[in-house]
Amino acid sequence: MQNNISENIKNLFKKTFKEEIKEMYQLPPSGSSRLYFRVKNDIRSVIAAYNSDKKENAAFLYLSDIFIKNGINVPEIYAEDLNNDVYLQEDLGDETLFNRLLKVRKSNEFPEELINLYKNVVEKLAELQIKVSKKVDYSICYPRKAFDKQSIMWDLNYFKYNFLKFTDILFDEQLLEDDFNSFSEYLLKADCNFFLYRDFQSRNIMLHNDRIYFIDYQGGRKGALHYDLASQLYDAKANIPENIREEIKTHYLNRLQQAYKIDVSDFDKHYYAYVLVRIMQAMGAYGYRGFFERKKHFLDSIPFAIKNLNSVLDKEEIPIEIPELRRVLKSVTNSKKLKNISGKKLTIKVSSFSYKKGIPEDNSGNGGGFVFDCRFINNPGRIEEYKELCGKDQEVIDFLENTDEVHHFFKSISQIISAAVKNYQSRGFKNLSVNFGCTGGQHRSVFFAEKTADYLRNNYDINVELEHTEGF
């Protein structure tokens, strides 16, 4: 099957650009069944998508067209072959909002740089909601045209069957179902005549050429404004402090009021109910992927989701009688087992070193790991203008990136490391070391260590530790 997909992508690329493909590799899978490939030659790089769900493809391509026509930053669609379930879209690189957060955030603090970035993101969300809400033909949306009672009940039952059923928390099925009905009816009392992105979380926001782009909106439909803001601000692993959430929410509402006369008090009346349903939907996903599919890294999000859940319940901002649901959710927040659950992510230590001083020791207890010798690469340290610089300086980066041997070397080592990461994750291993050596540990080894650390952070849900043993 994979060969057929590859051939269909190659044919579509050649038909579209009148060029041959030189390189194609599959990107790490996400939470869906869609497959993505980076397809390249010397002229261009594009992202190819394969999705056997034809209705979802139709919805995504339709929404892409609407967004682009209304000035919303989304990937350009270059070509489509829907008979073979493939299409080509713009390559926006690898940096998501979540990746940026991991790079910038060094502790529990939420720096001003991130606050401003998130404010910019919710401004773009408000712009999207204002511009396209009345221009979308919601009958094309999939799997539902609206976030209606049926959609809400799907999410609530997703939480019940894929999360609660895997815990030791007892509940009365009928009482919980009654509360689900009451809760969904309350949610639908909000104004539900806007475009709802559906999965507006930090991994679906791309940062490319200093601009914010949106991806993975194929589940978009008609709904309330609140849901997407809740999705962004209560994204589990982003772990945004509560006071910062309120600051960003206020900024979003101020931006929205500039173009749409929104009643802020009415918005607030339903906001935390939408936060709650989003948290429950996410917990259902973590349960399904983590407990059922045994993808252990999804379990890492559960303690963060419980923290968010506790924050919402403490506010007591949902003025309806849902006693069994409240009792069950409180039991979730009090569960020591769930608070401490973890997939115990793989940690990769990436190091640069000088061969004059020897290969760094692996103190993780795992032993071994990879050692890559960079000394065959042309040495920038022999060029006078680069002698005092290191592999983190842009001049050295540009020098190295401008050679084919660097690209061939990195392609090879990234494939080797990726194979190991996937294998180690599937087997529950916890540590791996990757070392890059050159003569002085200053230029080439630092460059490849930095590049590899970025690659791993952008493509895998793992812990990455980066060390330059020569202090650069």
CB count within 10 Å of CB 107 equals 6
Residue 111 tokens, joined: 């720096």
Greatest Cα pair distance, the chain, in angstroms, is 77
Same topology for domains 2-90 and 97-339, yes or no? no
Q: Which amino acid is at 286?
A: Y
Angle between helices 112-132 and 242-257 (to 10 degrees): 40
Is the pLDDT at 400 greater than 90? The verdict is yes
Is the pLDDT at 199 greater than 70? The verdict is yes
| 97-339 CATH fold | Aminoglycoside 3'-phosphotransferase; Chain: A, domain 2 (3.90.1200)
Q: What pLDDT does residue 147 have? A: 98
Question: Rounded to whole angstroms, how far apart are CA atoms 348 and 436?
Answer: 13
Please state whether beta strands 35-40 and 77-81 pair in parallel, antiparallel, or not at all (unpaired).
unpaired
Q: What pLDDT does residue 32 have? A: 74
In tens, the pLDDT along 296-341 reads: 778 888 999 999 999 999 998 999 999 999 999 999 999 988 987 8
278: nearest Cα among 323, 250, 238: 238
**pLDDT > 70 fraction of the chain, expressed in percent and rounded:** 97
Per DSSP, helices labelled H in 211-263 are 226-233, 242-257
Residue spans of the domains in the chain: they are: 2-90, 97-339, 347-468
210-224, 242-256, 277-291, 451-465: the lowest-pLDDT one = 451-465
Categorize the per-residue pLDDT at 365 as very low, low, confident or very high, splitting at 50, 70 and 90: low
Residue 80 tokens, joined: 């489509």
Q: What pLDDT does residue 296 have? A: 72
Q: Is the peptide bond before 143 cis (omega within 30 degrees of 0)?
A: yes
Class of domain 2-90: alpha beta
Average pLDDT, the chain: 93
Is the pLDDT at 1 greater than 60? The verdict is no
Q: What is the dihedral of CA 435, 437, 442, 446, to 10 degrees?
A: -30
